[in-house]
Structure 1
Amino acid sequence: MNKLICFLYISITTLPVVLSYLLDRKYRRKIKLITEDDNKFYNQLLSVTMKNFNCKPHVIEKNECSENCSLAYQKIIQAFISSAKSSICLCIYIFTLKSLTYELIQAHKRGVDVRVISDQIMFETKSQRDNFSILSKNEIPYKLHSPRSIKMHHKFCLIDKDDPERAKMFSGSLNLTNQGFCYNFDNTVLTNNIYVIKRFSDEFEKLWNLF
């Protein structure tokens, strides 16, 4: 009886310690894996602030004022798109920048699979409709959401999403317009985090099939 009591006492007193050790070890292992994964990926933030509200002339004249100039930001996005080797999936509420339209067309011509999703109401504005007319003339497929009462408010772009070595994306509040780059408080994050890309890729395919 005394042995049983002793065994139970030792078990009860040591069990929390053992469990705590095992949980702590599991937690540290997860943190280590997350840290190792983070070291594989990059993240770059483009943040449009009040300083960018004076950058419209720089965009027009093609003359950057700094590394945070709106024109510099547009060039980063343009280079991102032009780097595509296999696919571009653009899901965007408003898209009127002709320089980026040109990059999509050039990508399509070199064999990149380009698809675009946008908002039905925004499509009815002249600037957006004209831009998508250019895409259509160059046989780039696009889809518009329905019903009209709901906004297709996403702003993200996936580059080579099915290639683990090359996959990357950008996403944020920024629309691909001069207004977005020069006159709004906006942001977008560029990353090659494959876990984030997978989630956005699933969303794009769901929307493409839905519309």
Structure 2
Amino acid sequence: MKKFLSLLLILILFLTACSTTISDQIRYDVPSHKVQHNYQSRDYKSKDNAAVSVKGIQVYFPRAGQDPAPVLANLIKQSHSSCDVAIYSLTNPDIVKALVEAHKRGVNVRVITDRKEAENKVQKHAVNVLLMAGIPIKVNTHPGLMHLKMTVIDGKTATTGSYNYTRAASKENDEMFVVITDPNFVEACQTEFDRMWTDNENFAAVR
């Protein structure tokens, strides 16, 4: 199992490095001034259609009909104490709504995203929705990208892969989304998120 996890992690890191900014752009079929209405989204019901499901690991491929959005939204909805998100591109209304609802339930929600991505119109709106709900957000101040696609829930479940939290990633792109409950893997993800969150030289709060 440890060898399998190591190989999977290497594959995930490779896929993450290969994703592009252009492929992550979301497309809304409404005028920009009506974007906010998309955040009144439908409520997903649980449906496990993972391509691979072995002990502690589930893998989803969107273009194979395995949309990660409802999977991630449900994980967030089931959170009890904490939900830490480090995501390059965040525009999917259902995921944004799930984060807001989790925060309202008393879950400690924290978000780190990429500085340049946060400046585009759609993601800026998503960021503002989260900020208005009282969710703290940080962006990188270092010259590189904040290119992670990672969520850690309750210190017990971690998600990763090449999948950005956008509709384009769910409907158009070749992506991978992985849910892992292996304690060592989750601890490593939580440790890295905490390191980034407290690194005031390379990350700053969005006001």
TM-score (norm 1): 0.67
Per-residue CA deviations over 1:18-61 (Å, capped at 9, x if unaligned) read: xxxxxxxxxxxx99xxxxxxxx9421001133x5xxxxxxxxxx
- The residue aligned with 1:122 is 117
- Equivalent runs, 1:103-182 vs 2, <5 Å: 103-147=98-142, 149-161=143-155, 167-182=156-171
Aligned partner of 2:97 in structure 1 is 102
Structure 2 residue 45 is matched with structure 1 residue 45 = no
Task: Structure 2: state its 5+ residue gaps.
Answer: 4-53
In the other structure, the counterpart of 1:13 is: none
1:206 is aligned to 195
Q: Deviations over 1:80-128 (max 9, x none)?
A: 1111000000000000011111111111111100000000000110000
Q: Give unpaired runs (5+ residues) of structure 1.
A: 1-29, 32-39, 52-67, 162-166
Higher helix share: 1
Matching residue within 173, 179, 182 for 1:190: 179
Secondary structure of the residue aligned to 2:58 is strand
Give the CA RMSD over aligned residues. Answer: 1.8
Q: Percent identity?
A: 28
Alpha-carbon offset, residue 77 of structure 1: 1.3
Q: Quick one: distance in 2 between partners of 1:200 and 1:75? A: 22
- Indicate conservation of the 8 Å contact 2:60/2:66, yes or no: no
Question: Across the two proteins, how many residue pairs are aligned to each other?
Answer: 149
CA distance in 2 between partners of 1:87 and 1:155 (Å): 17
Larger gyration radius, structure 1 or structure 2: 1
Q: Using the alignment, how far apart are the partners of 1:69 and 1:87 within structure 2?
A: 26
Alignment-derived partner of residue 88 in structure 2: 93
* Counterpart for residue 77 of structure 2: 82
- CA positional deviation for 1:191: 1.4
Residue correspondence of structure 1 range 50-65 to structure 2 within 5 A: 51=64
